[in-house]
Structure 1
Amino acid sequence: MALLQKFDFGLPDAKDDPLLEVCALKIAPIAQFLTDNKSILVGDRGSGKTAVFRLLSDRKIQFTNNDNLNQIHIPIDEELSYKTLKGHISNQIKESTKEDASPHRLVWELFIFSRCLEGLRKQFEGNRRFDKINEEFQEAVGLKNPGKVGLIDLITKTKKTFGVKLENGHMGYVVPNFYASVEPKREADEPIDQSNFLDLPRFKSELNLLLADAKAVAYVLIDKLDEFVSGEEYKTQLSTLQALIQSWRDYQSYPKIKIKLFLRRDLYERLDFSSIGRDKIEPRKVELIWTDEDIRHLIATRIFHNIQSINKGKSLAIYCDERYLTIDRQFLNEIRSLDSIPENERSILDVVKHKFLMMRDYLRQRKRDAYDARTTNVHDMAYTALITTLFPRAANHKTKANKIEQIEISTYFSTHFQFSSKTTTPRIILLFLQYCLEATRHYYLNNPTESIQINEKGEYPVFLRDHLFQAYEQVRVLAMQTITGLNSAWQRSAANIMRHASTSKTPEAISFKEAKKHLGKDVTDEELSNFFAFYEHAGLFACTNRADNLDGRIYSIPIIFQRMSANAFT
């Protein structure tokens, strides 16, 4: 029990995870994002965007640049500063521009460039060129006594009217040129004083040249964009994000100032790319998706960290069945699943099926020669072996018939933690591990006579099947309540639909017509369509026949949300 108290699998929230640095994994999408030609990291909730942001902010990982330039990372995730700036500027923008996307663009332009100057101040302390850029920018926004002030002070302590004039920009795009007037409000028909223009392209260009001469590159990292737009009307959220994408696009002309965006998938999919062109955005985007192997690697790394800490760096021997290295991947999961069943519990059908699969694999292997590569992965075998050092080879799960049966542990992690996007996120796995640890500690605290003995395969049965089952139920309930609660207006309707689906004969799906009947006549088809669209992005449903009309549509429900217990809806 004393050793178990030392176990720590980390926390689901990357912002507070104490093991993030020591257990960081540079999976393929992350490695791809760290290259210079990628700028937007898109992922589901809990996929690890903030983890990457934190590692970059703390300089634990770096971007790949072939010129070996000095990297300066400028993290931005304080939505409060942005909202304060936005509120102040919105009140001072001329009425004629308020309906345009330009006000949002102005806020982002001022916010990003000001944060650039703040982030570079230490690097270029005493540099006359930098001081000149900084002072001229502050003067341009109306600060009479420029100095070392922060963004909010710079804006809120000056009185000015902001406006916009649309001009032809680079690459044929129409771009806004902003101005700030410190004089009394100008009448609409009066000419604009050219001296008041916020010549942002000039400021960006001069800062870009300064960085180039210093053999440096500034990476501006923007995370928590869902919090930047929280509490806003849907249309305003969309305009805010569109304006950010336009600002990001404009910064492509300044190669030493690189904007890196961390964007939730559902927010990204709302964007309208018609003004920029999706073909110009997609090549710069990376989808943060964890493969089944990545998830096993994540779990194995956290387990290994704990074992090494307890063993104080001593070597660890793990058991790996050599047969699994040669068995064809097509048959491997089924064979491992059957192997996980104790021999005295195997049915005649299990024995026959196992022999049949082994025979099929044997016949396939006979056709292979020295030029055929393995279909298995030796690293993944090691990850699975590490997992089963402490966890059972098979976990209990509920079948479609609502019966408790065992499922091989790798298959369990690959299938039972996916949302409607059919991907598993680190957050849900770390939450599960945390609950497993709590259940296990509670069990051994109440059963002090129980001891953990190493078995013939070098495994320690620390986490028992009942602990996994209990932890999984907790994860399911929390995930359900979190997702349904994302929209307060639809929360009750979502809970009612899921309660109905959980007790129906087909808990794995619900039809549009069935949901409409269950919610009543007061809900229109458009409202219900928007409801399903929202919760599909959130991970609760997935439409299986989108080409059909609304009444014919079927929405599948992931395993993690099937047959929920009653306490999930309280």
Structure 2
Amino acid sequence: MIQNLPKEFPIGKLDDLDFGGAEAKTDTLIETPLGVCWTRPIHEFVKGKKNIVIGERGVGKSVLFKLLSEEKIKIKKKKDEHHAILLIEEELQYGTLKDYVDKHVQTFLTDPSMKYRIVWELFILSRILAFVTKKYAAFLPEELHKANEEMSVVLGYKTDSLKLSEIVKGVKATVGLKFGSSPIGTIESSVYTSLEPKEGLATDSKSVVGEKNIDIDEYKKLVQQFLDQRNTFLFVLVDKVDEFVVKSDYDIQQLMLQALMETEKSYMDCKNIRFKLFIRCDLYKRLEYDVIGPDKITAKKITLVWTDEDIRMFIAQRIMHNYFNVLGLNSLQFSIDDDKLYVDEKSVDNYIPDQSHDPSVSIPFVSVLVRSFSRFWKREMPKERKRHIEGRHTTMNDEISKQIITSIFPKHVKHIDKNGQSKQIDIFEYFSTHFSLASGTTTPRLLVMFLDKCLVIAREYYRNNPDEKVLLDMSGEYQLFKRNILKIAYAEFQTEISESFSMISSHWKNYFERFVEKKGKRTEYSFEVLYKFLGGDREEMRGFLAFMCHIGYLKCHNTKALIEDRQYTLPILFQSDNKRHGTDGLTHATYMQR
């Protein structure tokens, strides 16, 4: 238990509690020490050897991108080594891009992604040249100054923060590109672009007329040599290229990502230029690995996933942030039964404490998570204990996370199982199972939304019940978020998350709303059942179901089968609000009157 919490939780402080924001741009807590969860993937990522970050929607790819860009998280470096970061955030209009590429980019190669790779090669190289020219102007060799000037004149850009769409529209000349050596085995390829400058772009005497040849590899070599001489590593962070699109744009997006991966691979010989690409799981799985090299790409990727233990740490750290910054605590002190750390959680119900322990033995343990967070570990030593060869089944940090969570949340909540029976489940199972999309993994984004909803409902509850006090019980826990508060918060959270999902795509909005309206209490569906009660065109239905699986609203259990034979289920999160989660039809208004 936590040993040093105040005897009474100050209800007046509820308005000051803050669990952060659901989006990277609005989550102020990631600016604080406790706002960042150092999960295993992040620990591995900062070692610098992983170039591709993949993950489901909401797992924190954009948060990691933001923290890296602001240097709140830093990639490890050796002594006397220097790092620089180039940010590329590209929300592309794929239809417009396709029209331009089809019209202006020509190559003798049959690979459909090659045209898009040419666009990426031009864009990324121009951004790198502009970046190093601006950052190292006083030290830059003449060859690099000339290279940047030549690229800026030919491609028609003036700044180092231009977008890809600005480059393809601002070309001033017919440009021939030479690839000395490419990862797909080509010796040389040519690209021809329009002579028309971007509208509003001033032309000058340096504008190129006719054809201008650019040796991509030579320019890369110049940048590599310069960075190597300065013992500097340039990290190119690329995000936002995987935003959700529909129909034909999806195929173009896949080609663009394929081309981006091939472009990243073309920098293999430039050891001082390292890419960090942030990509959704579903798009990553659709790439053509035989072109890129499956073994090599697997070695460079890392998947952002949140284990149950990670989720508990995430919630606990956000509670701790409020204990320190709102309640004004300087530390938290814990008492932990050491034996429980060695008991498999699956058999914890059968655990009987050894009565021969000597309770007088205590060992202090200082947390490595936060400097201001001290931990007193009460280790109860038996007279004779066999050595724990296998190690602990529950980590020290996870036990602490659990104690922090139950200090304000109930240990158990009501749940209606699939047979319609009401039962209690512990709060940790609740967090692990009730906030998952179809992928089966819980995401921080959804949890933050729910935690914030709990605060909203709790504030109203205590405003309407000013006589209630929240006192520390015998277990060292507050009953701050009562079970009914969680019930109402979850029901409202379900409604809001469903509404937000309906707005992801205007194209599928009508289908989505019909599905939500008609799904009832059913949790399993076949293609034919869905087609029967949603109606419409069968081809449209195929696209809609692909969309629903993509956003995590439906899970397909037999993806290899013909689409007409596929079976789908709803995650708990999207199942019938009241019956599934035990609110028993209790509305917000009626609850507050009780």
The equivalences for 1:368-383 within 5 A come to 369-383=387-401
| C-alpha distance 10-154 of structure 1, shift in aligned 2 (>3 A) | same
* Deviation, structure 1 residue 75: 1.6
* Deviation, structure 1 residue 332: 2.7
Q: Are 1:135 and 2:146 counterparts?
A: yes
Match of 1:511 in 2: 526
Match of 1:41 in 2: 53
The equivalences for 1:17-96 within 5 A come to 17-22=27-32, 23-66=35-78, 69-79=81-91, 90=101, 93-94=104-105
* Deviation, structure 1 residue 213: 0.4
Aligned amino acid, residue 271 of structure 1:
L
State the alpha-carbon separation in 1 of the partners of residues 578 and 109 from structure 2.
49
Q: Which has the higher helix share?
A: 1
CA contact (8 A) 1:38 1:286 kept: yes
Cα-to-partner distance string for 1:56-111 (whole Å, 9 max, x where unaligned): 1011112234575201111222537x989959965972567899534422332232
Match of 2:554 in 1: 541
State the alpha-carbon separation in 2 of the partners of residues 85 and 424 from structure 1.
36
Match of 1:240 in 2: 256
Q: In percent, how many aligned pairs have the same letter?
A: 31
Aligned amino acid, residue 17 of structure 1:
D
State the alpha-carbon separation in 1 of the partners of residues 71 and 558 from structure 2.
45
* Deviation, structure 1 residue 389: 0.8
State the alpha-carbon separation in 1 of the partners of residues 327 and 537 from structure 2.
60
SS at 1:196 equivalent: strand
Q: Are 1:399 and 2:412 counterparts?
A: no
Match of 2:122 in 1: 110
State the alpha-carbon separation in 1 of the partners of residues 528 and 351 from structure 2.
41
Aligned amino acid, residue 265 of structure 2:
R
The equivalences for 1:199-238 within 5 A come to 199-227=215-243, 233-238=249-254
State the alpha-carbon separation in 1 of the partners of residues 251 and 99 from structure 2.
20
| C-alpha distance 203-333 of structure 1, shift in aligned 2 (>3 A) | farther
CA contact (8 A) 2:176 2:213 kept: no
TM-score, normalization by structure 1: 0.81
Q: Are 1:331 and 2:344 counterparts?
A: no
State the alpha-carbon separation in 2 of the partners of residues 374 and 396 from structure 1.
30
State the alpha-carbon separation in 2 of the partners of residues 564 and 546 from structure 1.
28
Aligned amino acid, residue 324 of structure 1:
K
Once the two structures are overlaid, the 10-residue window that deviates more, 533-542 or 248-257, is 533-542
Cα-to-partner distance string for 1:474-510 (whole Å, 9 max, x where unaligned): 2222332333443433333344344444323xx2x22
CA contact (8 A) 1:396 1:466 kept: no
Aligned amino acid, residue 12 of structure 2:
A
CA contact (8 A) 1:40 1:285 kept: yes
Cα-to-partner distance string for 1:139-186 (whole Å, 9 max, x where unaligned): 245359997665468776662234567x6724562266456789799x
SS at 1:275 equivalent: helix
CA contact (8 A) 2:90 2:241 kept: no
Aligned amino acid, residue 260 of structure 1:
K
Once the two structures are overlaid, the 10-residue window that deviates more, 277-286 or 476-485, is 476-485
State the alpha-carbon separation in 1 of the partners of residues 260 and 416 from structure 2.
45
Among 5, 10, 21, the residue aligned to 2:15: 5
Among 427, 431, 435, the residue aligned to 1:417: 435
Alignment gaps of 5+ in structure 2: 1-10, 198-208, 353-383, 580-584, 586-594
SS at 1:517 equivalent: helix
* Deviation, structure 1 residue 469: 1.5
* Deviation, structure 1 residue 50: 0.8
Match of 1:456 in 2: 474
* Deviation, structure 1 residue 334: 8.9
Q: Are 1:16 and 2:30 counterparts?
A: no
Cα-to-partner distance string for 1:210-238 (whole Å, 9 max, x where unaligned): 00000000001011123497897222222
SS at 1:19 equivalent: helix
Match of 1:502 in 2: 520
Once the two structures are overlaid, the 10-residue window that deviates more, 131-140 or 174-183, is 174-183
| C-alpha distance 227-246 of structure 1, shift in aligned 2 (>3 A) | same
CA contact (8 A) 2:106 2:190 kept: no
Once the two structures are overlaid, the 10-residue window that deviates more, 5-14 or 269-278, is 269-278
State the alpha-carbon separation in 2 of the partners of residues 309 and 436 from structure 1.
19
The equivalences for 1:274-313 within 5 A come to 274-313=290-329
| C-alpha distance 426-145 of structure 1, shift in aligned 2 (>3 A) | closer
CA contact (8 A) 1:440 1:467 kept: yes
State the alpha-carbon separation in 2 of the partners of residues 552 and 94 from structure 1.
41
* Deviation, structure 1 residue 265: 1.5
Among 458, 463, 472, the residue aligned to 2:490: 472
CA contact (8 A) 2:152 2:158 kept: no
* Deviation, structure 1 residue 529: 4.1
Number of aligned pairs? Answer: 523
| C-alpha distance 317-282 of structure 1, shift in aligned 2 (>3 A) | same
| C-alpha distance 168-116 of structure 1, shift in aligned 2 (>3 A) | closer
Match of 1:532 in 2: 545
Alignment gaps of 5+ in structure 1: 186-192, 337-365
State the alpha-carbon separation in 2 of the partners of residues 442 and 278 from structure 1.
54
SS at 1:26 equivalent: coil
State the alpha-carbon separation in 2 of the partners of residues 175 and 475 from structure 1.
56
